[in-house]
Structure 1
Amino acid sequence: MMSSTKVKKNIMLTYVDLFAGAGGLSEGFIRNGFEPIIHVEMNVDACYTLKTRLAYHYLKNNNQLDIYASYLKAEISRADLYENLPIDLLDSILNLKIDDANLNYIYKQIDKNLKLRKFKKVDLLIGGPPCQAYSLIGRHGIDWDNDERVKLYKLYGKILAKYKPSMFVFENVPGIISANKGEYFNDLRSYYDKLGYNVDYQILKAEEFGVLQSRRRVIIIGSLKSKKLVYPDFPKMIEKYTTADVFHDLEVLKPGDSISNGKYKKSASEYQKKYHVRENFDFYTQHITRPHNTNDLAIYKIVQDKWNNEKHRLKYNDLPKKLRTQNNISSFLDRFKVVDLNGLSHTLVAHIAKDGHYYIHPTQTRSISVREAARLQSFPDNYFFEGSRTAAFTQIGNAVPPLMSQVLAKTIKEILIN
């Protein structure tokens, strides 16, 4: 990593976020003083989440967090909240599919916002195309020649070629490296090389960045060849904390219960203080659980008992026959899984939006709530996810953990300003 003992802290760096999702990756860059020029995201609920998060940062910077608190408490509407924001900030969220038909409009909006905010260039491009096609499960049935999802890196590259930022950050699942027998990643790397970028990658562990989750992500970073930069040396840590440090202070819920404005029932843990989980407010939102049928609840109790008392992960074919609702007992046998209270959570993915079987609460007979899932992804309690319960789970499962992106952003900033 290129570094210097003198850091030019007053330099404002700009970035564009593609396939922005709920803003987990973007959050780390905002926390490190980067200026977002445009976020592009095709999901409408995620776009509202991005706007609401920008509202939080804007109001915080202007000592008006009382307005944001009023929104979280449902005392004012979302429209009322957004009325407090500058138009250019709201317009910086583009609810668009990134495709050839929309590229010119995206360019127009980037240029417009650069001019409005008196910036000369885009310093950084960040984002990660939808990863389902590259995941191990998602590869079955993929048409590598015609599936538009596997060509999204070229659209990313067109925007890269247009603005020539000093660096780019491309986040994805580890499966992208071996997808289509490695040919896909080789094509990606060759394409960006032709655009003038040196490209390298690492598979990073989220738990080494303070996230209470065993999560692997590929972070591909490119830098302009003329800059002669090297892949960043991201500082890593091994923490002693467990999921118990973020599950202890929320109200006990039954399946289908929901708390939209809850009081913490215990003091903040050391982890919560260190990573600002409960920052700004003395209440939390979106402690929302899904309902479960009696059959699933019976399974949950058995699976919990095996895990909590024997540390044994029960397989589907180990369940009593009367509880089995599916005939397939030869594959996908780990359909039910308890979150480890005394260790790290297993990887949180967007499938949690479909059912909670893979994310059973360790001590309460239900799957985890929206707020619990958000905490496992290292989102602070002041982060609000717009849309339905299902939409919130999807956004959380697809996100880059903010604690991870915060370290990426801090290290990249040190490189760019030296």
Structure 2
Amino acid sequence: MSGRTRAPGTYGVTLVRSKYLPLEPHPDSCTPDTFREWVGRHKDEPLAVDLFSGAGGLSLGLKRAGWTVAAAVDRDERALETHRHNFPGMSLNLDLGSPDDREKLLSLFEGVKVDLVAGGPPCQPFSRAGSAKIRSLVKAGVRDKHDLRKELWRAYIEIVLALRPRAVLMENVPDMGLADDFRVVRIIDEMLEDAGYATQVQLADAWKFGVPQHRRRLILLARLDSLEFRWPAPSDQKVTLRDAIEDLPPIPTGETGHRETRYPSRKKLSAFAREMREGAPKGLVHDHMTRPVRADDAELFELMDEKSIYSDLYEKYKDDPEKSKLFRYDTEHFTDKYNRLGWNELSRSITAHIAKDGYWYIHPGQPRTLTVREAARVQTFPDGFRFAGMRSDAFRQIGNAVPPLLGAAAALAVKAHPEDSVDGPLQPYWRTVRRELTDWATDLRKGTGWSALPGREMGRPQAAVAALLSTGRGGQGGTAEAMAQVRGLATLTRAAYKKLLDSAPSAAARKSFERMEVVAGKRKAWEDDERVVTAIGFKPNERAVFRLLRDNDLLLASHGAIRVAERVAGTGSDRESANALNDGRVNLSKLVGAGDEAPLRMAAVRLLSLTNCRAVGPICSGCPLSELCASKDELSEQALF
């Protein structure tokens, strides 16, 4: 084992808990009993409700964009104490998973016009790290397998539909989409469209809106008054960590900072630092405090820069008798245990993990971890924003928050605009596209398309053959004869299996078909889908195609399917980066949508990618979406009519 493992319960530093910071309510805060009076004073202002508000990162974004937050709802009392101090209106401790508590909230707003409902349902079950942690807790018997927080999006939408605001803003981690093929996002999107809203779903890079960190967030927007979503122009100029925190005072080695200290004298501040200082007590900075650091860790930090990897450092110094002692963790399993930030780079994403371990956030210039105020700056909370509770409470609230500058950018996209006008029901673009795609696929399925689309004729033998053919190249060529051998069969007979082998369009296809010998002539093997999948031993792509053709709701986010979606959206095609793939999945999720016909549309997109909408030489004249395709003019130059 390389490196060492710290003995349980040993830290090497004295653990000092910070004092609790109590915060008084905002002068214009109110309670449920005084809410009506409060509304009367703010009747001419656009009112917003922030659900799952936390400390108020999104609320602050809404405020920057011009809204007055009438109510914030959360279950974290310390976060609510923070919200109650920094914002007017109500800060309510309600469990939105409870129908009774939802009814309490709605009753408060009876007769009150709400312009915007915003919020981010708890995202831990959707994130990669959170999902892994939850699985371990379930295995240990500490947590129920069914995590009700996964269903809080339903509570969110129920409240939205009851309040019927002009605009909606929903924020969550990208994995809320990626973890379940965007199914929840697609359902929410469709529910809002059914209620008359125009919607937009996109992944937003926070740094493009002035946030000094790497952070991508899933944003779902909706509005009743327009089809337009006017995001502020993104910037190509990054706010670096130097811009964000260099003006804050250094902390002497071995110390942890203070609740209140003075800014150092400095002649020139970055534009970001000047903005963060606005509204704060002149000359004073609050909450510039961090955790104590072990002496050996501080020494190791000095050996690191922003490119250092813990395991690589160990390899470099393992033969040095003194420096090798600094490595306390098994470097085979903790390859990136520590992370030092770079002055001229963006910070890594600030998450709730910072409340437990600051070693992912080592200061770029000092041998310590970030302070509360530095973390708040990286999240774009201004210096005048205070956090209730102890130091760990503040870190947790900051890590759970939406960066206010990102929240403001998303809110501006749904702000009422003088040019907005509605003449009759909105006809959202993607809803129209999905209708055309559904009609085309439904008609095609009645004829030759039966063998590529879920439907009455797509039984288990047919889906299995189609799945085994799916890994070959060359589109649909040669598949018709093979599919004809199993058409109408409920099981694969031995006779049909022999005919299938003879009809294989290639040697590779025949080899794939030979894997069906284990189920040929065996009725029980065809009694359910999973038995077929297991018996034949489908590869991941084959399994996905089989399940799709068996009418399961999933996204097949292949390069071909994403190409179709991006061409229809007019956002480019055939991009290879990981981020582009994620953006492509957003477009694909909009094209496929939700509901009973979603599998049919997904299969239709797959079919179009193999036939009409090819990477080179698309055949636009036969594409059902050609008139709606945002890339039609560009594609017409290379199309084979």
2:298 paired with 1:303: no
In structure 2, what is the Cα distance between the partners aligned to 1:37 and 1:393? Answer: 26
Deviations 1:174-226 (A, max 9, x none): 111111233333333334344443332111111111111121111111223xx
Q: Give the SS at the match of 2:124.
A: coil
Do residues 235 (structure 1) and 233 (structure 2) align?
A: yes
1:316 aligns with 2:318: no
* Paired AA for residue 97 in structure 1: D
Match of 1:221 in 2: 221
Instruction: Name the SS for the 2:349 alignment partner.
Output: coil
C-alpha distance in structure 1 between counterparts of 2:113 and 2:327, whole Å = 58
Q: Could you say which residue in structure 2 is the equivalent of 1:333?
A: 335
- Verify the 8 A CA contact 1:15 1:126 in the aligned structure 2: yes
Shift of 1:409: 2.8
Q: Corresponding residue for 1:202?
A: 202
Residue equivalent to 1:379: 381
Secondary structure in 2 matching 1:391: helix
Q: Which residue of 1 aligns with 2:184?
A: 184
**1:29 and 2:62 aligned:** yes
Q: Decide which structure has the larger Cα Rg and report it.
A: 2
Which runs of structure 1 show a deviation greater than 6 angstroms over 4 or more consecutive aligned residues? none
Once the 2 structures are TM-superposed, how far is the Cα of residue 385 of structure 1 from its aligned partner?
0.7
How far has the Cα of 1:22 moved from its partner?
1.0
CA shift, 1:343, in A, is 2.0
Change in CA separation of 1:240 and 1:158 when aligned onto 2, cut-off 3 Å = closer
Give the Å deviation of 1:23. Answer: 0.7
Residue-by-residue CA offset, 1:80-114 (whole Å, 9 max, x unaligned) = xxxxxxxxx3xx11022221231111112333xxx
Deviation of 1:252 after TM superposition, in Å, equals 1.7
Select between 126-135 and 312-321 the one with higher mean Cα deviation: 312-321
TM-fit CA distance, 1:133: 1.3
RMSD of aligned Cα (Å): 2.6
Provide Cα deviations, 1:9-61, integer angstroms capped at 9, x if missing partner.
Answer: x962111100001111111222333121210011111101101102xxx6xxx
Q: How does 1:344-355 map to 2 (within 5 A)?
A: 344-355=346-357
How far off is 1:327 after superposition? 3.7
Q: Offset at 1:262?
A: 1.5
SS at match of 2:72: strand
Q: Residues 155, 417 of structure 1: CA spacing in aligned structure 2 closer, same or farther, 3 A cutoff?
A: farther
Partner of 1:406: 408
* Mapped partners of 1:136, 1:368: distance in 2: 24
Matched residue type, 1:264: Y
Higher relative contact order (CA 8 A, sep 6+): 1
| Residue equivalent to 1:135 | 127
Q: TM-score, normalised by structure 2?
A: 0.52
Amino acid of the residue matched to residue 399 of structure 1? A
Runs (5+) with no aligned partner, structure 2: 1-42, 139-143, 319-323, 421-641
1:391 is matched with which residue? 393
How many residues end up aligned between the 2 structures? 358
- The Cα of 1:273 is off from its aligned counterpart by 5.8
Letter in 1 for 2:91: I
CA distance in 1, matches of 2:200, 2:183: 16
Change (3 A) 1:187 1:255: farther
396-405 or 272-281, larger mean C-alpha shift = 272-281
SS in 2 for 1:15: strand
State the AA in 1 paired with 2:297. Answer: D
* Matches of 2:254 and 2:67, distance apart in 1: 41
Residues 162-173 of structure 1 aligned to structure 2 (within 5 Å)? 162-173=162-173
CA displacement at 1:256 relative to structure 2: 4.7
1:255–1:365 contact (8 Å) kept in structure 2: no
Deviations 1:260-279 (Å, cap 9, x if unpaired)?
Answer: 22111033513246534343
Between stretches 165-174 and 133-142, larger displacement belongs to 133-142
Q: State the partner residue of 1:121.
A: 113
Structure 1 unaligned spans of 5+: 1-9, 59-88
Once residues 239 and 200 of structure 2 are traced to their aligned partners in structure 1, the CA distance between those partners, rounded to angstroms, is 31
More off after superposition, 395-404 vs 228-237: 228-237
**What TM-score results when the alignment is normalised by the length of structure 1?**
0.78
In structure 2, the partner of 1:94 is 92
Q: Would the alpha carbon gap of residues 280 and 293 (structure 1) be closer, same or farther in structure 2, given more than 3 Å must change? A: closer
